[in-house]
A and B are shown apart, each in its own frame.
Chain A
Amino acid sequence: MLHTLIKNNLKLMLRSKWILVLMIGGPILIIAVLGSVFDDLMKSYEGLDEFMAGYRLEDESAFSPYMQEVKRAAEDNGVTFVEYESGDIEDIIAKNDCAVFIDFQAEAYIIYQIQEHETESHIAEYFLNGVSASMLGADGADLRLDVVQLDIIPNIESEDYYGIAYTIYFIWCSFVCLTAVITSERKGKANQKYKISLISNISLYLGKAIPCALMTVIGVGTSTLLSTYLFQIKWGNYPMTILILLLTVLASTVMGLFFCLLFRSLTYSICTSFMVTWVAGFVGGSFETYIYSTIDQSVKVLSPIYHATRALTEYSVQGHSEYTRSTIIYLTGLMVIFALLGIGMNKLRKEEEA
């Protein structure tokens, strides 16, 4: 009997095309958007390519006697100094592909920055500062500084982060699969038919929970494989990652199922589930990374999404995480509580309709 229920319900879910589209397409779309938005913010500094700096030199400038040496030293640092004796500075920059322009005047030197090449101009500025400091003769290379190397969690790239975060977030949205089953049950007045059948309360419950979990694995699994291939997402510690993802699938399924049974109206169930998931995601780093988010740590730890996202992110960058235990305990706890509540609710609903 259970077998038939699972088969039928799974068929119902697979037939509803937009659920599949949402579960497969949704994560990919969002990973693409967020990955590109946060690319700049999250990527590590990779150094600059060589660039060209235009300059103009007045004879009275303090730099004038050293210019040949300055040019040579700049060359060693990847900056080519090219002299333009006359002409409008904006024109020179536009025509000659200079990343920055320096006007060495008698008393001062002016660095002309261009917005697209800010980093280059900072490098040039730093370099010239060094030149003028060396005029003073101060070097200090032999000073012993008190330097402590911090043991930090390595940086994660934006696409890896959002790849992980949205796999988890969409698993939590898996309750949408249930709508296909419940709508059809209501339409066919299946509950009254179940009542006269010999099917047990537990089988009825599992008949919904198992296909929903299977459907989530199929949908989000396909999407994860695709996004991993498309965005080269790095996952670490495969056995633990898979374990946590599977636990998330189970916890989200039983929670979604509970909300579906709690309210008679499917609209309320769906709205509540969405709100709960959204708040948990908002707090747990599905939108703004948990790394940068200013939400208080004591609020963050309330969200199961926070624990799972953090654990998987840390697996990805360093292979292990202090959040493994809390994630497993939290998810298992949710699973047990909502499964019991759900089964109880299922019984209640069945008796009510009797």
Chain B
Amino acid sequence: MNQLTALLKMNGKLLLRNKGFWGAIVLIPILAVLMLNVLGLGEEDSHENDDKNTYGIVKEMTQEDRRLVYLADGTRLTVKVYDSSESRLADYLLDELADKGLFEVFRYRCEEMTDAEIEKAAKEDADGDRIGVIVYLKADFEISAQEGNAEQGLTIFRTEADERQELFESSCQTVLAQMNAAAVMVQGDRTALLEVLEQTVEVLPQKQIEMLNISSKRVLNYQQLEYRSNICYTFAILGLAYSFCGMLIAHSLMKERENGVYTRVSLCNVTKIKYIGSKLVSAVFAVALETGIIGIGMSGLVKANFGMIYRDYLLMIFFLGLICTMLSICIGILAGNVMSANYAVFLVWMINSLISGLYFPTEFTGWMTYVSRLAPQKWFIDIMEILLLGEQGAYTLMLIVTAAFLAVIGSIGAVGLRLREEV
């Protein structure tokens, strides 16, 4: 036991004296925190569309520049509406359009905009957000509709040539024609106009949508999706920090091998298991220390809100960090020299982050699904989703995944050590 303590003390000192170690555990987390601030993590964002069934309903946007490209379901034409009319008649028009089935309508309630402003916004949406059609409802939409000229109250911005745009325009024409006909009938009375329109809808055969074979996929709402992507970014950056931390430990192992430290240590009756054990225990300490620093840094500087208990988040980071660190140590042992190990660690980290979908949600089909399961981050995204949804079983899964990865990494590392010794 004394020997183990002595070894641990030695390793601890070595690590603490190493400038790179402090760089990895202090600098990178600080950089990560700064970067998260740039990304706007921790800013509260409220959404009115939190219920899951939004099929055929106008979706409300609370931020104008919010990207819809990942939110839109992709099977329908995305329509973004700038609504400065804020009237019941505008609601009617948009509800009808959303109900057509082919269009997914997002509405942003805005102040009145000039032609130049709205055109600029529309161009940005079309270029940067894959919006199919942009509609501007003018402030006087309601008055135009009451006068029976509803079509004068809005402007439609066409983007790419896509046959659904014509369908959208013809749908608009149909609904607007109905509104105009009704307006003529009631002679411009607003309440009566709404009543007539609602009655017409009731006369028609009712439509119901049933979804068959709904798969067991977890469904996150907008807010949770936002949390998910923020946490994924932190996984990516911190994963790198932990990997470098593991590299430094692997580095000390390599140096010691060069200097024959192990041979000398073994003269004092230290078994190999104790020697390696001390390295692993110091790795766990380093990971815990780093997690602690990240934890304090983030709660102090970012005011981070991850949509889950902060302790759970740190727990996830700790286990993921443990896997990354051990993986780097293992790669270090296999590679044998610092330079190749560095590249290999970086490459593994990059590919893992990419295929597990840390930067953007990846949904693979076929064999890539299995390949992406080889990345520990992929499993931690699952765990995070469970935690976000408040479902059961996150802790168990966390422990099982960590144990499984460590077992695999451990055995590969052990084989690697044996091979190295034989050389």
Contacts and interface: CB of A to CB of B under 8 A. Distances in A.
B152 A148 contact: no
Contacts, number: 221
B412 interface: no
Contact of B205 (A30, A109, A145, A282): A109
Interface stretch (B7-15, B154-162, B282-290): B154-162
Residue from A26, A125, A155 having most chain B Cβ neighbours under 10 A: A125
A18 B67 CA distance: 40
Contacts of A107: 205-206
Interface residues of B, number: 87
Given A40-B74, A267-B338, A274 B152 contact: no
Contact of A129 (B65, B101, B181, B359): B101
Interface string A11-35: 0000000100010001001100110
A133 B174 contact: yes
A45 B162 contact: yes
Given A90-B212, A115-B213, A125-B102, A140 B173 contact: yes
B401 interface: no
B119 interface: yes
Interface in B180-206: 180-181, 200, 203-206
A145 B128 contact: no
Contacts of B123: 150-152
A267 B74 contact: no
A125 B354 contact: no
Interface string A78-103: 00000000000110010000000000
Contacts of A136: 178, 200, 203-204
B278 to A, nearest CB: 23
Interface stretch (A189-197, A200-208, A286-294): A286-294
Contacts of A114: 212-213
Given A18-B343, A108-B206, A153-B127, A115 B214 contact: yes
Nearest to B76: A122
Contact count band on A: 35 or more
A12 to B, nearest CB: 13
Contacts of A90: 212-213
Interface string B83-110: 0000000000000000111100000000
12 contacts: A45-B164, A62-B204, A110-B207, A115-B212, A136-B204, A140-B170, A140-B176, A155-B160, A267-B20, A275-B31, A288-B359, A294-B39
Given A108-B206, A118-B75, A122-B101, 12 more contacts: A37-B363, A109-B206, A112-B210, A122-B75, A122-B76, A129-B100, A139-B177, A145-B151, A265-B20, A270-B342, A291-B127, A295-B38
Interface of B: 20, 23, 31, 35, 38-40, 65, 67, 69-70, 73-77, 99-102, 119, 122-123, 126-130, 134, 151-152, 154-160, 162-164, 167, 169-178, 180-181, 200, 203-215, 240, 244, 251, 338-340, 342-343, 346-347, 351, 354-355, 359-360, 362-364, 368
